[in-house]
Amino acid sequence: MQSQKSFQDESRGMLYLIPTPIGNLEDMTIRGIRLLKEVDLIASEDTRNTQKLLNYFDITTSQISFHEHNTQERIGQLIEKLEAGLSIAQVSDAGMPSISDPGHELVVACIEADIPVVPLPGANAGLTALIASGLAPQPFYFYGFLPRKKKDQLAALEELNQRPETLILYESPHRLKEVLKAMIGVFGEDRKIVCCRELTKKFEEFIRGTLVEALEWATENEVRGEFCLIIEGNHHGSLLAETDRSWEALSLKEHVELLMTELDVPSKTAIKEVAKIRELKKQEVYGAYHEI
């Protein structure tokens, strides 16, 4: 058991996790600006990008690069500086450090070295999009970026389809159309989605509708800007998760019919769920249900 009293001994080195704006520079907090001026060093995901922020607020603190390609090399160096009594702020290019950005490994290393880790509240794309989406804000499930490989992506979507919570995902503009197609294949056409782009910036936009309507929009328009996707949860997800093994006494056809009745879903959805539950091929369940 470890207890951290963050401000009991401020004479020792300390790691500050400081959120940066996701677009509008005015979203930087007063405390964040003060600490960036006061710390001895800033560990930045991209020093050139962070320098624009520092220039805007007249911050002259030195930077050191800390990104996914030099994480292991840098951690030892940063821990050494912290143990020597220096204070360090860690920032990503936008939003919260460690959320789809570097930082987690450094936090773990600091905890192991008994160095205080102090987080600041601030900008976060997922929550910013969620509260304006119009979909249920709680409970929600944050996933981040889907896997790039098609097989892994579909497997992730199949798992997400079991969740009743509102889903929060991040996606790049050049992958949006293909991801929406994959979601339609797993979630169905009518699942509600809000595609949020350019959050806090001049061209901020919320595209609200069903998955098939979102795909139509992405096909007919030039897709630009980073996206945060807020997706309606599967209202039957919690029921599916709680299914017991009483189905073992049922035939495949009876199992499909049971789910259709209990969950009020069409045969196509019930067949897919029975295949998952029994770890069978969908074609086998389809054939048994339709008595082919």
Q: Return the minimum-mean-pLDDT range out of 105-114, 168-177, 238-247.
A: 238-247
C-beta of residue 90 within 8 angstroms of C-beta of residue 66: yes
- The verdict on 167 and 87 lying in the same domain is no
- The verdict on 78 and 29 lying in the same domain is yes
The answer to whether residue 132 sits within a structural domain is yes
The answer to whether residue 9 sits within a structural domain is no
Over residues 130-143, mean pLDDT: 95
- The verdict on 139 and 229 lying in the same domain is yes
The answer to whether residue 10 sits within a structural domain is no
Q: Is 14 buried (19+), middle (13-18) or exposed (0-12) by CB count in 10 A? A: buried
The answer to whether residue 60 sits within a structural domain is yes
The answer to whether residue 92 sits within a structural domain is yes
The answer to whether residue 8 sits within a structural domain is no
The pLDDT tens digits of the residues spanning 22-43 come to 999 999 999 999 999 999 999 9
The answer to whether residue 252 sits within a structural domain is yes
Domain containing 93 equals 15-119
- The verdict on 32 and 53 lying in the same domain is yes
- The verdict on 192 and 281 lying in the same domain is no
Among residues 60, 58, 41, 168, the alpha carbon closest in space to that of 106 is found at 41
pLDDT at 173 over 90: yes
The pLDDT tens digits of the residues spanning 217-252 come to 999 999 999 999 999 999 876 545 445 567 788 899
Q: What is the CATH number of the domain that holds 21?
A: 3.40.1010.10
Beginning with the edge strand found earlier in the chain, give each strand of the sheet holding 192-197 in spatial order: 140-145, 166-171, 227-231, 192-197, 205-210
Instruction: Count how many domains the chain has.
Output: 3
The answer to whether residue 140 sits within a structural domain is yes
- The verdict on 157 and 181 lying in the same domain is yes
Which neighbouring-strand residues pair with 63? 42
Over residues 72-101, mean pLDDT: 92
Q: What is the CATH number of the domain that holds 206?
A: 3.30.950.10
